[in-house]
Structure formats: structure tokens, C-alpha cells
Amino acid sequence: MDGLLNIENILLLLHVIGATVLFGTGAGIAFFMVIARGTEDPKLIAHTANTVVLADTVFTATAVVLQPITGYLLASRIGWPMTEGWIALSLILYVVTGLFWLPVVWIQIRLRDIARAADANSQPLPAIWFRLYRIWFACGFPAFFAVIGIFFLMLTKPDISLFQ
């Protein structure tokens, strides 16, 4: 039993939980926003977008901060250098994910605020809402596939020579 509760296993568990939270929250947010958008109901969209912004703040942002910390500590304990090819490529993909996630956070807030204003004025959603939504939707694809790539690299740990 002592071998099960070593620091590497605890770090690995925390790292997997963080990855699950990042992926699951992202997929859930995307699903609920797409379903809400289909209604074109500003009140429903504003409510959904408010929940999405809250979920991104509480879950995604927390995991975004903790994920590299648990990854670094785990790699250090095991003895993997950060320049190991699959780790370096995972970090690059993590940055790519972040480059698409940061504008999405801002866009979600704007989508929520625009929908709130439309609801308060009993107006339909304006054209800017739909333009921002298309950008938000498009940003999800590279981030999604980058995370899938990270999962693949973490599970297979392929021998990749980036720095040799």
C-alpha cells in the first residue's frame, strides 16, 4: 500500500484530474454555448454564457495554472527533462491551446454582455454577436486538437528528437 501513495502517483493523479477538468470543462462549455446559440433567445444565451464564464473562471483557469505545475513536479520527480521531445512538444501545444483560449474567454464575456443588453432591450441579437460567436466557435477547433495532441503525447511518450 505504501508504494501506491508515493508522491509520483499523487502528482500523476492530480495531473490527470487537471487534464480531465480542462478537457471536460472545455467540451461542456462548447456544447452548452452551441445549444444556446441555436435558440437565438438572448435571455437563454445570456444565462448560459454567464454560466460558461463562471465555469471558465472557476474550473478552467484553476486547471490552467495547476497543470504545468503538476506536470513540472511530476517530470522532475521521475527524472524527465523539460527538453525531452514529447514533453517540449506537449508544452508547445499547451501554449497553442492557451493562445486560442485567451481570446475565447474575452469573447464569451462579450457574448454574454451583448445577449444581456439585447434581452434588457427586448431586441434580437445584433450582427456583432453572431460575428463574435463564429470567431469563438472557430477558436475551439485548434485548441481542441492541440489538447488531443497533448493527451496522445502524454499517453504514448514517443521518442521525438527536438533538441539533439
| Percent of all residues in the chain with a pLDDT value above 90, rounded to a whole number | 92
pLDDT digits (tens, 9 = 90+) for 105-138: 999 999 999 999 999 999 999 999 999 999 999 9
Cβ atoms of residues 94 and 150 within 8 Å: yes
Q: Say what the pLDDT of residue 99 is.
A: 95
Output b/e per residue, 37-48; b: 16+ Cβ within 10 A: beeebbebbbbb
Q: What are phi and psi of 134, to 5 degrees?
A: -60, -40
The size of the chain, in residues, is 164
> Which amino acid appears at position 136 of this protein?
W
pLDDT in tens, 143-163: 999 999 999 999 999 998 876
pLDDT, position 5: 80
In this prediction, residue 149 carries a pLDDT of 97
Q: Is the pLDDT of residue 2 over 70?
A: no
Set of cell numbers at residue 78 = 521521475
DSSP state of 79: T
pLDDT digits (tens, 9 = 90+) for 58-89: 999 999 999 999 999 999 999 999 999 999 99
pTM (2 d.p.): 0.89
Instruction: Of 57, 74, 63, 55, give the one whose Cα is nearest residue 22.
Output: 63
Residue with cell 432591450: 121
Gyration radius from the chain CA atoms: 19
Other CB atoms within a 10 A radius of the CB of residue 101 amount to 20
Model confidence band, residue 1 (pLDDT cutoffs 50, 70, 90): low
- The model's pLDDT over 4-60, given as tens digits with 9 standing for 90+, comes to 788 999 999 999 999 999 999 999 999 999 999 999 999 999 999 999 999 999 999
**Residue 22, burial from CB neighbour count under 10 angstroms (0-12, 13-18, 19+):** buried
